[in-house]
Structure 1
Amino acid sequence: MICSLNEIEALARKAARGGAMSWGLAEEAGKAVRWLSDNGFPGPWLLAELLRQNDAKPYSDLAPLQSDGIWRARRGPLCPIIAGALICDRADELKEGAPLNLGEVAVPLLLAPFAAAASRSAGVALALEWDGVSLVFDRGAPKLNGATAAMIVAGTGSVTLSAREAQAPGWGPTAPDRHVTAETFRILESFAFRTYALATEESRAGAGARRETD
């Protein structure tokens, strides 16, 4: 089905909240999915995959912790929505040339909206790279250098974000992707439906990307 960007953002926000993200993280997830769809990427599918991976995982397991210059999750892969705040907070450091190194990341393309925001904030071109993929942001639409199949993946071993020369390689999406498959819509709706259900002890135990102070 074809959805408007407003519909995509609203569904993504509600699904993220149903996946036990805090309201703040759910808002960021909605904006990230909208940005991805507006730039020609399958934003709804990416979020559906992330919510599936993170279901019932506590926030403390997903949040980034630094060790030996690399940010990793306590257990399993980093959540890209939670790690997005880390990217935005370090825009000035990125501008000064200090790279940001992340360990294993779930659905790494969900980091792209935050890298774009950091690029705009710092006023420099930034390259987001993993497994042969390079997405370059120069205060505008992303440009891709690499195989598209490697870009739309459920996870990757490591991700680097660093300043680059102000020129974008390769190509960039030219039209929004507002198509949502029936299966993706069903998954997101199933998470969104949880926002209508009464909380139970079992549902509270599954934290997804919940903030500890939520």
Structure 2
Amino acid sequence: MICSLNEIEALSRKAARGAGMSWGLAEEAGKAVRWLSDNGFAGPWLLAELLRRNDGTPYADLVPRPSDGIWRARSGPLCPIIAGALICDRADELKAGAALRLQEVAVPLLLAPFAAAASRSAGVALALEWQGVSLLFGGGAPKLDGAAGATATAGPVTLSTREGQAPAGGPAAPDRHVTAETFQILESFAFRTYAPATEASRAGAGAGSERD
């Protein structure tokens, strides 16, 4: 099916929330998927892969823990939404020429929207690289080099500066296609946000029931 970017963002946000992300991270996930779709990538499918992979995993196991200059998770791959939000907070370090190294990231392409934001914030060209894939930012539309099949494969990731401006890619056609399987997966996570009806909710209560 073909969805609008607004629909993609809203469904992704609600699915991320249903998967257990905080409202803030769910907002970031929705914006990230919209960015990916707007730049010609299969954003909803990438998020569905991430949510399936991380379903039931505690937040503490997914958050980056810097050690010896490398970001690691306590257990398994890092979550690219959590790591991406932290990358944006540390854009000034990239401006100073420091490289960020992440030991292993699930669905690395989901880092792309955050790398693009960090590139704009720091005013430098950046390269996001993993497993023979390189995504360049800073000269217009992002330019992907390498095996597109590795976009959802977990692996070590490096984000580093590039001299001058990154080569400008041509404008990509938005990818607003969502397969029935992907839509069903995201909807199943989104459905978790719907609280069952109770006497209190029928009376208009429940505004304070939001999970942290």
Whether these two folds match at TM > 0.5 is yes
Residue 139 of structure 1 and its aligned partner are, at CA, apart by 5.9
Residue 180 of structure 1 and its aligned partner are, at CA, apart by 0.1
Matches within 5 A, 1:75-90: 75-90=75-90
Q: Percent identity?
A: 81
Which residue of 1 is the match for residue 42 of structure 2? 42
Aligned counterparts of 1:173 and 1:97: Cα–Cα separation in 2 = 28
Which residue of 2 is the match for residue 12 of structure 1? 12
Aligned counterparts of 2:152 and 2:8: Cα–Cα separation in 1 = 20
Kindly provide the amino acid, as one letter, of the partner of residue 80 in structure 1.
P
User: For the Cα contact (< 8 Å) 1:104–1:159, is it kept in 2?
Assistant: yes
Structure 2: gaps (5+ residues):
198-210
Residue 78 of structure 1 and its aligned partner are, at CA, apart by 0.1
Residue 142 of structure 1 and its aligned partner are, at CA, apart by 0.7
Aligned counterparts of 2:99 and 2:34: Cα–Cα separation in 1 = 27
TM-score using structure 2 length: 0.89
* 1:104-156 Cα shifts (integer Å, max 9, x gaps): 10000000000000000000100000011110100632111212222x22312
Which residue of 2 is the match for residue 160 of structure 1? 158
Which residue of 2 is the match for residue 140 of structure 1? 140
The higher-RCO structure (CA 8 Å, 6+ apart) is 1
Aligned counterparts of 2:41 and 2:5: Cα–Cα separation in 1 = 12
User: For the Cα contact (< 8 Å) 1:116–1:139, is it kept in 2?
Assistant: no
Look up the SS of the partner of 1:194 in the other structure. Answer: helix
Which residue of 2 is the match for residue 118 of structure 1? 118
Aligned counterparts of 1:37 and 1:84: Cα–Cα separation in 2 = 17
Counterparts in 2 of 1:67 and 1:37: CA distance versus 1, 3 Å: same
> Quick check: 163-172 or 100-109, which moved more?
163-172
* Runs of 4+ off more than 6 Å: none
TM-score using structure 1 length: 0.89
Matches within 5 A, 1:99-118: 99-118=99-118
* 1:27-63 Cα shifts (integer Å, max 9, x gaps): 0000000000000000000000000011111110100
Kindly provide the amino acid, as one letter, of the partner of residue 132 in structure 2.
G
User: For the Cα contact (< 8 Å) 2:138–2:168, is it kept in 1?
Assistant: no
Kindly provide the amino acid, as one letter, of the partner of residue 90 in structure 2.
R
Residue 69 of structure 1 and its aligned partner are, at CA, apart by 0.8
Matches within 5 A, 1:172-183: 174-183=172-181
User: For the Cα contact (< 8 Å) 2:124–2:165, is it kept in 1?
Assistant: no
- Higher Cα radius of gyration: 2
Residue 171 of structure 1 and its aligned partner are, at CA, apart by 4.8
Structure 1: gaps (5+ residues):
200-212
Residues 1:185 and 2:180 are matched in the alignment: no
* 1:43-99 Cα shifts (integer Å, max 9, x gaps): 000000000011111110100001111001100000000001221111111011100
Look up the SS of the partner of 1:85 in the other structure. Answer: helix
Residue 168 of structure 1 and its aligned partner are, at CA, apart by 3.0
